Every structure is written in C-alpha cells, then in structure tokens.
Structure 1
Amino acid sequence: MGKGGLIGELSAEFAGTMVLILFGCGVVAQVVLAEGASGDYQSINWAWGIGVTLGVYTAARLSGAHLNPAVTVALAAFKGFSWAKVGPYCLAQLAGAFVAALIVRAVYADFIGAVDPDTTAATQGVFFTAPGLMPDGNTVSITTAFVDQVVGTAILVFVIFALTTAWNNPPLANIGPWFVGLLVVGIGMAFGANAGYAINPARDLGPRIAAFLTGYGDAFVPAEGPVYFWLPIVAPLIGGLVGGALFKFLIEIHLTDPEVEEPAVGEARPNV
C-alpha cells in the first residue's frame, strides 16, 4: 500500500467515490432538470462510465479503487481483502458519495428551485434510484427490482474480477479503469430500466441522505408506493457475492497458477 497507510486508503476511497458521484449525479441533474435539452439517457450511461473510470484512476494506487461496498465485501469474501477494512472502506465510500451529492445539489440549486421548488419525486432521480415506470403507468415490482439489482451487481463484480485477475490475462493495469468504465456503461444500457442500475449501496444511500437533508422529505419513506431505500443497499451486496462466487467457481479455480505472485485484487497497484 501507499505510505499513507489506512488513512491514505480511506482518503482515496472517499475521493474516488466522490469523483464517481460528481459525474453520475451531475449528468442526471443536467438531463432531468434541463428536460432533455442538455442530454438524454445515453448521456447518463456514458457519464456514469466516465465517472467510474476517473474515480478508479483517482483511487487505484492507494486503495485499489473499490468505490462500492458491494465490491469491497466481494473482495473480502473471495480475494483475500482484509475483513477489518471492510467497514472503514464502506464508510469512506458512503461519505464520498454524500459529499458529492451535496455539491451537485448546491450547483443545481437554481434549476431545482425553478423546476421543482417543492423537491418532489419529479426530481429525486437526480440523487437516488426508484422502481422504473412502465408504459402502462405502473412501477416495476419490488421483486423485479431486487432481482435486477442482484443480477446487475453480479455482472459488475464478475467482470471486475475477470479484468483484474492477473492469471486471467486481463488488460494492462493502466488501461484497466477504462474497461471498468465501459462495463458500467454496458450495464446501464442493458439493465437500467427496472431500477436505475444503482449496483452500489454507497452510490444510492449517500446521495439519498444528502437529498433528504436538503429538502427531499420523502427520500426514505415516500408518500406513495413501497419503502424502497433498503433495496439498493441489500440487493447489490447479495449480487456482489453472487458475482464473486460465480467467477471463482466458473473461471478462477480452472486457471493455471501464475509464476509470479500478483497483488491481491482490490489492493493498491503501483502501475495504475
């Protein structure tokens, strides 16, 4: 690890997650509040992917750039990451997402005040996810949204493990973050409709707390519809474990041992 020790690692997780959410919530704010005049759903997919890429470059050398509690837990379960660091890493990620959302809230305060002065469900999607709205006017069921988040996060972790396991002939570490960003773009394009592809508990909970504290009073208990905030926390954690297990048993156990020991996945990589 870097000479900063655990404090340096947590600082990197905070900063990397903050960069991710600045781009992610920022692009949703631009698209939603400008009513499509400044982008569309594809803009959202690409900006989230760019945010992931730049967040990984920000944090990778010090912390391995998890940027996601689901990734951190999966790394501890299957890749030897220290369980003692799981809680601190997750808190740092949550704090980074929270601060980034506050910044987006401040930058877009005039737009929010003009478009949605009562801070209602009309603009809450800038900050946190909800079940998707179908053409018949009904929302996606909790069961479907839960399965969607498990599947999306399983894909995320499975492919991250594939991209970062040296035995699997991955891309070079210095371009690896671009492939992780493209992975997130692909997940958004393929699995974004049901539940907004949170696939990251910190990404949803941090901005949700920020939104609640800045006027979105029903962020946790909506006036209508089911209580949903728990789902983007629980389902991605399960999905990450599913994806990690699938990689281990479908791919990793069949790989030939490397001649040179590699850094554990999720640990700092000096050549990033």
Structure 2
Amino acid sequence: MLKHRALRVRNALVRECMAEFLGTFVLLLFGCAAAAQVKTSRETKGQFLSANMAFSVGVMSAMYLTKGITGAHLNPAVTLSFCALGQVRWGRLVPYCLSQLLGAYMASGLVYLVYYDAIMEFSGGVLTVYGPNETASIFATYPSEYMTLGRSFLDQVVGTGMLMLCILCLSEKRNTPAPSGLIPVIVAVIVLGISMSMSANCGAAINPARDLGPRLFTLTAGWGTEVFTCYNYWFWVPLVAPPVGGLIGTFMYELFIDWHLPDPGEPDGLSVLSTISDKTKQPSTTWDNESKVAHF
C-alpha cells in the first residue's frame, strides 16, 4: 500500500486527464476494432449493429473504469455541457478535451496495428476514403452520399442533444435517480439507442474526440489529406455540431425538467400521477359485507 501511495499522482488535474485519456482510449478501442472486424470481413464476422453494440460496451467499460475520478465524460461535448452547468470548472475544459482526443488517437493506432493485415488485404494496400474498398470509415465517421452539410449538421446536433437530455437526469435526486452502480449500463443503452436510430446518415459520432482523434490518425497513417477534404470538407461537422447539440440538450433539460423539480422536502412539487401512485399504495379499510375480508 505504501508503494502505491508513493506512485500516486499528486496533481488532481493530471489524474483527471489520465482518466479521460484512458477512458476514451477504451471506448474507441472497442468501437473501432469492431468496425474493422465487420468491414474487413465483408460482414461475415459481424454486421452494422456489431459496431453500435461495441461502442456501447466501450462506453460502459470506460465509465466503470473512470467514473470515480472525473465522472467519465469521454466526450468534449459532455465536458462543455457540464462546464456550462457549473458542475466542472472551465479551466478543465481544454485539458479534458485534449486528453480525450489523444486517447482516441492512440486507440486508433492500436486498432490499426491489430488489424493491419486485414486492412491491407481488404484494401489491396491502397488506403482510400472513397470506393467499395475504402477503409477510412473504420476509424472516423463519414456522411452518406445523399447528405448535405446542413442536414448533416442537424443530424449531429439532434443526436448529441438527445444524449445530454437523457443522461442529465440519471443522478438527479429530486427526480427518479438511477442507482449509481447502474448509471454506466444505462448510459451505454442510451448510446446504443442513439446509434441504432441515428447512425444511417453520418455514423452517429456525437463526440468530437471520437471523430477527430481517429481522423488525425488516418491523416498520419497513410490515408492522406483526403480524410479532411472529402465530402466538401465535411470533417468540421462532427467537430462543431456535437458541442452545439450538447448545449441545446442541456438547455432543454434545464428548461423543461430541472427548473420545475421540487426542492427537497417540498410537498407541492409532487406531480398528480405520483400523488395518485402514493395513495394507491396505502391500505384501504373498506370491508366486504359478506366475506368480512379487508381489501388492500
């Protein structure tokens, strides 16, 4: 124990950045590895849903891993939203985001090494963004060919907005909070739901680090500048739209839910439905005249 204490990092910010780095690394390792397996096997070893589920497992695993240190943001849009809520200091924003970005970059590199032979066999040794043998989408997200920039932006705003709207209530004690130990599982299910319902258009990045980190890796690993110039310079959409969506989802939660929740011990805050529910739980003293059995 004393040896462990001697190795403990003293600086709180450094500890938190280490956690965000490792958490995002785990998230991207699960997700991108699944995408590589599905694509390079030509869907003989998994399907589109496989990557969605793997990213969700990655979210859950990374949250259990790092939740006790930073709360497991794993996403610059989430960090920005918590800063806007005043739950995280603004001075943490840039260090957290850079740590998340680096974690995503390093995870992409490891996936590339693990699946190097499969990627080369699938692509014929030509690393491209377009065509039936493209492999860039293993790492970063790209839009469907029918998508416009404006519609792509809306897609990412809606997806990230739903993410923040649905996770902000999970630890709210004035509402119906989830058990703390189950929050990572619930967040993973929320991410899975978003991926299953909103990934056809643009891949459901909903996370700037998840997209930019792998995109930077593909730039340096041989795919070239096309990863940034393709689809009319689409790369900025998953970089800018998720933070906007996260702030919108956060504001919607505050406007429609948080501002209207009762203060602790405030009886007037009970809703009609919860009041009725409480009354139905109380035993009735009505007796059946014939059987003389109380109904509860």
TM-score where L is the length of structure 1: 0.89
1: CA distance, partners of 2:250 / 2:175:
14
1:129 pairs with 2:138:
no
Letter in 1 for 2:140: F
Q: By how many angstroms is 1:92 displaced?
A: 0.6
Match of 1:221 in 2: 229
Match of 1:241 in 2: 247
Where does the alignment leave 5 or more consecutive residues of structure 2 unmatched? 1-8, 266-296
Deviations 1:47-81 (A, max 9, x none): 11111000111110011100000000000112431
8 Å Cα contact 1:78/1:245 also seen in 2: no
Determine which of 150, 165, 176 is the counterpart of 1:169.
176
1: CA distance, partners of 2:60 / 2:109:
21
8 Å Cα contact 1:124/1:216 also seen in 2: yes
1: CA distance, partners of 2:154 / 2:171:
26
1: CA distance, partners of 2:166 / 2:212:
24
1: CA distance, partners of 2:28 / 2:85:
27
Match of 1:96 in 2: 103
Where does the alignment leave 5 or more consecutive residues of structure 1 unmatched? 134-138, 260-272
TM-score where L is the length of structure 2: 0.82
Higher relative contact order (CA 8 A, sep 6+): 1
1: CA distance, partners of 2:81 / 2:197:
23
Q: By how many angstroms is 1:132 displaced?
A: 1.6
RMSD: 1.3
Determine which of 147, 161, 164 is the counterpart of 1:154.
161
SS at match of 2:227: coil
Determine which of 83, 106, 112 is the counterpart of 1:105.
112
SS at match of 1:67: coil
Letter in 2 for 1:257: D
Identity of aligned residues (%): 41
SS at match of 1:220: helix
2: CA distance, partners of 1:3 / 1:160:
31
2: CA distance, partners of 1:176 / 1:201:
22
1: CA distance, partners of 2:139 / 2:161:
23
2: CA distance, partners of 1:164 / 1:90:
23
Q: By how many angstroms is 1:3 displaced?
A: 6.5
Structure with more helix by fraction: 2
Match of 1:55 in 2: 62
1:118 pairs with 2:126:
yes
Match of 2:213 in 1: 206
Letter in 2 for 1:142: L
Count of residue pairs the alignment pairs up? 251
SS at match of 2:223: coil
